[in-house]
């Protein structure tokens, strides 16, 4: 009778138990047993996880708040409450990955519940074991459902990086720069007079990425120290330059090897120490490091990014010249130091400072578009398939992607990234020509700042005029354009010549001009 | 009946936010490797609501507890002073403030040191009303953008600015700062047909 009441209305059943407990203590245990039986029956009757909300009262409201309850029941209730919470989290989660995590946690909790009930010797353990087994079956069904859902579509991983440099932790994304690293090694390792090196390339070509990865690819006797001249601290004052210059070397060597620790008295060297006779102080500090470098047969490679910052009008010219004098002196008198400048201008293109009198014997290493094979490897296997990149290029879309970007590294990464995002939105991993065209439309906008910079800052009016004609499809003959304009546009890697006609080297540039300049 | 629609103010409750799935996917994918995105769209198109949605749901979407999100708007008068702006960011990561009296370049130096030393933490600045920088050239000199460019490439800091105009429209002496070419641009336009469905009248 009591079981029927509970089955129809648990609240009424609980009240009945309270009444029995108070008025008929002899029947208390029988009443509890009836309620536990009814509760476990309900738990066993659930058809799927969605029905868990129907047993909210069972897991949240114990049989009695005052009475001492059987130990097995209390233990089971605690387990069931945890499972209930995980099932609720599983049902509310929309992100596939986190949904799977919630399901894994649910299954673990059900496993605990099963173990606890197997161990329990209490009167009701077998009933709860049956509940645990039933819930285990429900969890397995959900696992199968999730697996089926995954077969429908699992997002393609998108590891591509555009805009930011490729840091060493992005293992496979820096490709096609083996020649650059080889050249640096050749110029600096095992030679008595190390030349100043200039890593030259247009913007967004991968210079900073190369500098940040020197450690991985250079000879172990070279210790790269990355210095970013974009940071105002290097061009504020002689004191600030010397202090920060020394500090960055200190930080690098401190983490490089313990043998360098005695060479430093950095903790006692503050900015104030460098304020007077700054460059002399710097020389004294470098003397101490030089000894250890010679002992260890190591060379510090000062990798100076954005070196043209010294050329800008915002930087005091005499400070810029003092800094360059310091570099010249370091290179001439310190055999264990080497210099690698990096920028998007050659020394000849700069005019405010007489660079050639400071950077003597400079070897330029040019960094350009990626080799085709390397770029192809990048877009087809940026990470191993087991890490989630399994996009499939159909209709030669891989080759078309590389053609349209001309293997310019920033654009390759940007277009590949937009393409993966598009395919994830479409929930499809096979890329067809129409998909690529759609991604191309997107990348013309997402890479807007790249094109805009070339258009506004890199090009002169007469060059822009030629490019507009070309974009309009007016067929510009090579012979109709001055040598100066052609040379400028070629140097900026914007044009190529094709059977006497000028053409865009990067087709995306043409599309950008059509979209934003015509 | 309670009217659930809002106009003229950004949506603050993420449950009331709708659509922009493709844009959110793009921005979050980039943020997963700390890449920067510039959001561009005309006024009242929903840029602020999108930024605020990212602010409230960013951690969940990124599934990365080490990442902190800060929402700042340049409309806020307090942000028109550089040290105050930097301190708003530092507050989120519970770092000591930079002195309000600090020289601009010193403040930038101190800020840069703190950001470089985040010890495993990452920070995303969602910066609304970026266009206002046009009126703040004196308070935000070119060195600010140079320093930010350097930090935004370092992996600890990312920025998602929202503006009506393309970022390049903002320049010093007709020269585009290289600061702007580290951003990938995402345009916010009208809802797609699919996104409009819930707002359509029921026939």
Domain positions in chain A? 2-152, 178-366, 375-516
Q: Are B128 and B74 in contact, with CB atoms under 8 Å apart?
A: yes
* Count of other CB atoms within 10 angstroms of residue A475: 11
Helix axes B21-31, B47-62, angle to 10 degrees: 50
Across the interface, which of B32, B176, B184 has its CB nearest the CB of A447?
Answer: B184
Residue B159, domain member (yes or no): yes
Give the position of tokens 């493709």: B22
Question: In this structure, is the dihedral angle defined by the CA atoms of residues A461, A444, A367 and B168, taken in order, positive or negative?
Answer: positive
Give the whole-angstrom CA distance, residue A285 versus residue A266.
9
Q: Give how far B15 is from chain A: nearest CA, Å.
A: 13
User: Mean pLDDT, chain B, as a whole number?
Assistant: 87
pLDDT over 90, % of chain A: 63
Predicted confidence at residue A452, as pLDDT, reads 92
Helix axes A409-426, A433-446, angle to 10 degrees: 120
Chain B residues with a Cβ under 8 Å from any Cβ in chain A: 21-22, 25-26, 29-30, 32-36, 38, 60-61, 63, 105, 108-109, 112, 142-143, 146-147, 149-150, 152-153, 155, 166-168, 175-176, 178, 180-187
Q: Give how far B5 is from chain A: nearest CA, Å.
A: 24
Tell me which chain B residues have a C-beta less than 8 angstroms from the C-beta of A233: 105, 108-109, 112
For residue B181, give the chain A residue with the closest CA: A449
Inter-chain CB proximity A232 and B143 less than 8 Å: yes
Inter-chain CB proximity A230 and B150 less than 8 Å: yes
Q: Work out whether strand A501-504 and strand A392-393 pair parallel, antiparallel, or are unpaired.
A: unpaired
CATH topology of domain A375-516: Arc Repressor Mutant, subunit A (1.10.10)
Which residue(s) pair with A302 in the sheet? A225, A339
Range with lowest mean pLDDT among A24-38, B21-35, B150-164: A24-38
Across the interface, which of B32, B105, B183 has its CB nearest the CB of A236?
Answer: B105
Give the whole-angstrom CA distance, residue A448 versus residue A446.
5
- pLDDT tens digits, one per residue of A462-473: 999 999 999 999
For residue A227, give the chain B residue with the closest CA: B150
Provide the domain count of chain B.
1
* Count of other CB atoms within 10 angstroms of residue A452: 21
Residue A95's pLDDT band (cuts 50, 70, 90) = low
B-interface mutation test, from A164, A237, A305, most B Cβ less than 10 A away? A164
- pLDDT tens digits, one per residue of A168-226: 988 889 999 999 999 999 999 999 889 999 999 999 999 999 999 999 999 999 999 99
CATH of the domain at B116: 3.40.50.300
pLDDT exceeds cutoff 60 at A49: yes
Range with lowest mean pLDDT among A42-46, A120-124, A372-376, B191-195: B191-195
For residue A516, give the chain B residue with the closest CA: B166
Tell me which chain A residues have a C-beta less than 8 angstroms from the C-beta of B34: 164
Half-sphere exposure of A338 (CA within 13 A, CB side): 25
The two most distant CA atoms of chain A are separated, in Å, by 112
Q: Give how far A389 is from chain B: nearest CA, Å.
A: 14
Predicted confidence at residue B203, as pLDDT, reads 44
- Give the H or E element holding residue A50: none
Predicted confidence at residue A11, as pLDDT, reads 73
- pLDDT tens digits, one per residue of A11-21: 777 777 777 76
Across the interface, which of A231, A445, A449 has its CB nearest the CB of B167?
Answer: A449
Q: Give how far A467 is from chain B: nearest CA, Å.
A: 20
Q: Give how far A351 is from chain B: nearest CA, Å.
A: 18
Question: In this structure, is the dihedral angle defined by the CA atoms of residues A356, A360, A361 and A364, taken in order, positive or negative?
Answer: negative
Helices (H) and strands (E) in chain A, counts: 22, 9
pLDDT exceeds cutoff 80 at A379: yes
Residue A270's pLDDT band (cuts 50, 70, 90) = confident
Predicted confidence at residue A267, as pLDDT, reads 63
Encoded tokens for A341: 């400048």
Closest Cα to residue B15, out of B56, B58, B45, B70? Answer: B56
Chain A residues with a Cβ under 8 Å from any Cβ in chain B: 95, 97-98, 158-159, 161-165, 167, 170, 203-204, 208, 228, 230-233, 236, 306, 309, 314, 414, 417-418, 420-421, 424-425, 445-450, 452-453, 456-457
Tell me which chain A residues have a C-beta less than 8 angstroms from the C-beta of B38: 449
- Residue B120's domain spans which residues? 14-189
For residue B32, give the chain A residue with the closest CA: A159
Question: In this structure, is the dihedral angle defined by the CA atoms of residues A461, A465, A470 and A471, taken in order, positive or negative?
Answer: positive
Burial class (CB in 10 A: 0-12, 13-18, 19+), B39: buried
- pLDDT tens digits, one per residue of A389-418: 999 999 999 999 999 999 999 999 999 999
Predicted confidence at residue A149, as pLDDT, reads 62
B-interface mutation test, from A102, A163, A439, most B Cβ less than 10 A away? A163
Half-sphere exposure of B115 (CA within 13 A, CB side): 27
Buried b (16+ CB within 10 A) or exposed e, A371-410: eeebbbebbeebbeeeeebebebeeebbebbbebbbbbbb
B-interface mutation test, from A100, A209, A230, A420, most B Cβ less than 10 A away? A230
Give the whole-angstrom CA distance, residue A431 versus residue A425.
12
For residue A212, give the chain B residue with the closest CA: B154
Give the whole-angstrom CA distance, residue B72 versus residue B127.
5
Half-sphere exposure of A267 (CA within 13 A, CB side): 3
For residue B63, give the chain A residue with the closest CA: A98
Encoded tokens for A136: 């285990």
Predicted confidence at residue A238, as pLDDT, reads 95
Predicted confidence at residue A475, as pLDDT, reads 87
Cα-based torsion angle of the residue sequence B4, B8, B13, B18 in order, rounded to the nearest 10 degrees: 70
A-interface mutation test, from B163, B171, B173, B181, most A Cβ less than 10 A away? B181
Predicted confidence at residue A26, as pLDDT, reads 72
Q: Are A166 and A212 in contact, with CB atoms under 8 Å apart?
A: yes
pLDDT exceeds cutoff 80 at A263: no
Mean pLDDT computed over A120-144: 89
pLDDT exceeds cutoff 90 at B72: yes
Tell me which chain B residues have a C-beta less than 8 angstroms from the C-beta of A456: 168, 176
Encoded tokens for A18: 């309270």
Mean pLDDT computed over A362-381: 97
Tell me which chain A residues have a C-beta less than 8 angstroms from the C-beta of B181: 163, 203-204, 449-450, 452-453
Encoded tokens for B199: 């707002």
pLDDT exceeds cutoff 60 at B132: yes
Q: Give how far A423 is from chain B: nearest CA, Å.
A: 11
Q: Regarding predicted confidence, which is higher, A7 or A295?
A: A295
Inter-chain CB proximity B168 and A309 less than 8 Å: no
CATH 3.40.50.300 fits A178-366, yes or no: yes
Q: What are the angstrom distances between the C-alpha of A148 and each of A151, A163, B152, B172?
A: 5, 37, 41, 56
For residue A170, give the chain B residue with the closest CA: B33
Residue B61, domain member (yes or no): yes
- pLDDT tens digits, one per residue of A414-462: 999 999 999 999 999 999 999 999 999 999 999 999 999 899 888 999 9
pLDDT exceeds cutoff 60 at A120: yes
Predicted confidence at residue B1, as pLDDT, reads 64
Tell me which chain B residues have a C-beta less than 8 angstroms from the C-beta of A161: 33, 35
Q: Are B126 and B71 in contact, with CB atoms under 8 Å apart?
A: yes
Q: Work out whether strand B157-163 and strand B122-128 pair parallel, antiparallel, or are unpaired.
A: parallel
pLDDT over 90, % of chain B: 54
Range with lowest mean pLDDT among A32-46, A257-271, A288-302, B68-82: A257-271
Mean pLDDT computed over B88-95: 90
């Amino acid at each position: 009778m009591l079981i029927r009441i509970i089955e129809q209305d648990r609240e009424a059943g609980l009240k009945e138990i309270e009444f029995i407990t108070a008025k008929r203590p002899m029947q208390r245990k029988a009443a509890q047993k009836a309620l536990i039986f009814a509760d476990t029956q309900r738990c066993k009757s659930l058809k799927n996880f969605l029905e868990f909300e129907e047993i909210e009262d069972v897991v949240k409201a114990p049989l009695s708040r005052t009475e001492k309850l059987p130990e097995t029941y209390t233990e089971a209730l605690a387990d069931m409450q945890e499972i209930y919470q995980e099932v609720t989290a599983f049902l509310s989660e929309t992100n596939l990955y986190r949904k799977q995590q919630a399901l894994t946690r649910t299954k673990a909790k059900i496993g605990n519940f099963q173990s606890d009930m197997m161990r329990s010797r209490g009167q009701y353990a077998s009933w709860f074991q049956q509940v645990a087994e039933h819930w285990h079956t429900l969890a397995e069904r959900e696992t199968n459902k999730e697996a089926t859902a995954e077969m429908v579509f699992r997002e393609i991983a998108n590891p591509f990086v555009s805009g930011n440099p490729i840091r060493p932790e992005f293992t496979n994304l820096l490709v096609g720069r083996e020649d650059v690293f080889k050249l640096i090694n050749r110029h600096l390792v095992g030679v008595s007079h190390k030349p100043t090196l200039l890593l030259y390339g247009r913007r967004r070509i991968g210079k900073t990425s190369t500098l940040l990865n020197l450690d991985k690819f250079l000879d172990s006797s070279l210790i790269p120290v990355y210095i970013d001249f974009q940071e105002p601290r290097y061009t504020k004052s002689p004191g600030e330059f010397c202090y920060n210059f020394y500090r960055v070397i200190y930080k690098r060597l401190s983490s490089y090897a313990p043998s360098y620790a005695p060479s430093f008295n950095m903790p006692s060297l503050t900015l104030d120490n460098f304020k007077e006779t700054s460059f002399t102080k710097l020389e004294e500090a470098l003397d101490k490091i030089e000894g250890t470098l010679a002992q260890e047969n190591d060379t510090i490679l000062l990798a100076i990014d954005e070196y043209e910052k010294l050329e800008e009008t915002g930087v005091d010219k005499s400070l810029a010249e003092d800094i360059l004098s310091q570099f010249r002196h370091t290179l001439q008198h310190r055999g264990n130091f080497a210099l690698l400048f990096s920028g998007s201008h050659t020394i000849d293109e700069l005019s405010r400072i007489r660079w050639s009198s400071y950077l003597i014997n400079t070897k330029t290493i040019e960094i350009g578009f990626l080799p085709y094979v390397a770029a192809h490897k990048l877009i087809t296997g940026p990470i191993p398939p087991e890490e989630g990149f399994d996009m499939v290029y159909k209709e030669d879309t891989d080759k078309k992607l590389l053609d349209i970007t001309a293997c310019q590294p920033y654009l390759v990464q940007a277009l590949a990234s937009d393409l993966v995002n598009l395919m994830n939105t479409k929930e499809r991993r096979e890329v067809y020509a129409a998909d690529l065209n759609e991604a191309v439309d997107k990348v013309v906008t997402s890479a807007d700042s790249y094109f805009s910079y070339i258009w506004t800052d890199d090009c002169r009016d007469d060059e822009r005029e030629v490019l507009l004609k070309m974009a309009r499809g007016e067929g510009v003959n090579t012979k109709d354009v001055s040598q100066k304009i052609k040379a400028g546009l070629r140097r900026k890697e914007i044009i190529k010549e094709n059977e006497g006609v000028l053409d865009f080297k990067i087709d995306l540039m043409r599309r950008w001009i059509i979209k934003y300049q015509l | 009946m309670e009217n659930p629609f809002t106009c003229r103010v950004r949506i603050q409750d993420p449950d009331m936010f709708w659509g922009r799935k493709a844009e959110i996917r793009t921005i979050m994918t980039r943020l997963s490797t700390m890449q920067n995105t510039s959001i561009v769209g005309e006024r009242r198109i929903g840029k602020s609501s999108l930024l605020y949605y990212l602010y409230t749901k960013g951690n969940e979407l990124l599934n990365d507890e080490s990442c902190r999100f800060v929402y700042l708007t340049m409309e806020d008068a307090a942000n028109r002073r550089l040290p105050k702006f930097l301190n708003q960011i530092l507050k989120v990561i519970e770092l000591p403030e930079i002195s309000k009296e600090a020289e601009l370049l010193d403040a930038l130096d101190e800020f840069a040191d703190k950001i470089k030393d985040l010890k495993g933490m990452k920070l995303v600045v969602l910066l609304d009303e970026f266009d206002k920088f046009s009126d703040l050239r004196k308070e935000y000199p070119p060195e600010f953008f140079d320093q930010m460019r350097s930090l935004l490439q370092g992996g600890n800091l990312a920025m998602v600015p929202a503006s009506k105009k393309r970022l390049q429209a903002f320049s010093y002496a007709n020269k585009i700062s290289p600061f702007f070419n580290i951003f990938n641009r995402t345009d916010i336009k009208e809802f797609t047909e699919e996104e409009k469905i819930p707002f359509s009248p029921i026939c």
